[in-house]
Amino acid sequence: MAAACFLSGPSPLARPPPRPRHSLRRLAPAAAAGPPAGPLALPASSRRPLRDLVPGPVAEAARRALAAAAGPLVVALASAALVLGDAGAASAFVVATPRKLQADELATVRLFKDNTPSVVYITNLAVRQDAFTLDVLEVPQGSGSGFVWDKLGHIVTNFHVIRGASDLRVTLADQSVYEAQVVGFDQDKDVAVLSIEAPKDKLRPLPVGVSADLLVGQKVYAIGNPFGLDHTLTTGVISGLRREISSAATGRPIQDVIQTDAAINPGNSGGPLLDSSGNLIGVNTAIYSPSGASSGVGFSIPVDTVGGIVDQLIQFGKVTRPILGIKFAPDQSVEQLGLSGVLVLDAPPNGPAGKAGLQSTKRDAYGRLILGDIITSVNGTKVANGSDLYRILDQCKVGETVTVEVLRGDKKEKIAVVLEPKLDET
- Domain spans, the chain: 117-196, 218-316, 322-421
Q: What is the mean pLDDT of residues 88-103?
A: 60
Which of 187, 426, 149 lies closest to 319, judged by CA?
187
Compute the distance between CA of residue 115 and CA of residue 113 in angstroms, rounded to an integer.
6
Which of 195, 219, 359, 341 lies closest to 279, judged by CA?
219
pTM of the model: 0.65
Compute the distance between CA of residue 225 and CA of residue 230 in angstroms, rounded to an integer.
6
Compute the distance between CA of residue 360 and CA of residue 348 in angstroms, rounded to an integer.
8
Question: Known catalytic residues?
Answer: 160, 190, 269
- Kindly report which listed range (29-33, 98-102, 147-151, 218-222) carries the lowest average pLDDT score: 29-33
> For residue 297, what are the contacts with CB-CB under 8 A and spacing of at least 6?
239, 259, 261, 287, 288, 289
Would you say the CATH fold of 218-316 matches that of 117-196? yes
What residue type is 378 in one-letter code?
V
* C-beta of residue 84 within 8 angstroms of C-beta of residue 28: yes
DSSP class of residue 208 equals: B
Q: How confident is the model at residue 363 (pLDDT cuts 50, 70, 90)?
A: confident
DSSP class of residue 84 equals: H
- Kindly report which listed range (60-74, 151-165, 291-305, 335-349) carries the lowest average pLDDT score: 60-74
Answer whether residue 388 shows pLDDT above 60: yes
Kindly report the backbone phi and psi dihedral angles of residue 395, in degrees, each rounded to the nearest multiple of 5, phi listed first: -95, 0
> For residue 399, what are the contacts with CB-CB under 8 A and spacing of at least 6?
322, 418, 419, 420
> For residue 70, what are the contacts with CB-CB under 8 A and spacing of at least 6?
39, 40
Q: How confident is the model at residue 215 (pLDDT cuts 50, 70, 90)?
A: very high
CATH 1.10.490.10: does it fit domain 218-316? no
User: Please, what is the Cα angle at 322 between 316 and 323, to 5 degrees?
Assistant: 135
> For residue 129, what are the contacts with CB-CB under 8 A and spacing of at least 6?
135, 136, 137
Compute the distance between CA of residue 76 and CA of residue 343 in angstroms, rounded to an integer.
94
Compute the distance between CA of residue 423 and CA of residue 426 in angstroms, rounded to an integer.
10
Q: What is the pLDDT of residues 45-85, one digit of tens each?
A: 445 554 454 455 555 655 565 555 555 544 444 444 444 44
Q: How confident is the model at residue 241 (pLDDT cuts 50, 70, 90)?
A: very high
No. of helices (H) and no. of strands (E), the chain: 12, 22
CATH code for the part of the protein at 117-196: 2.40.10.10
Answer whether residue 140 shows pLDDT above 50: yes
With H, G, I as helix, E, B as strand and everything else as coil, classify residue 184: strand
Answer whether residue 165 shows pLDDT above 50: yes
Name the superfamily (CATH) of residues 322-421.
Answer: PDZ domain (2.30.42.10)
How many C-beta atoms lie closer than 10 Å to residue 123's C-beta? Answer: 20
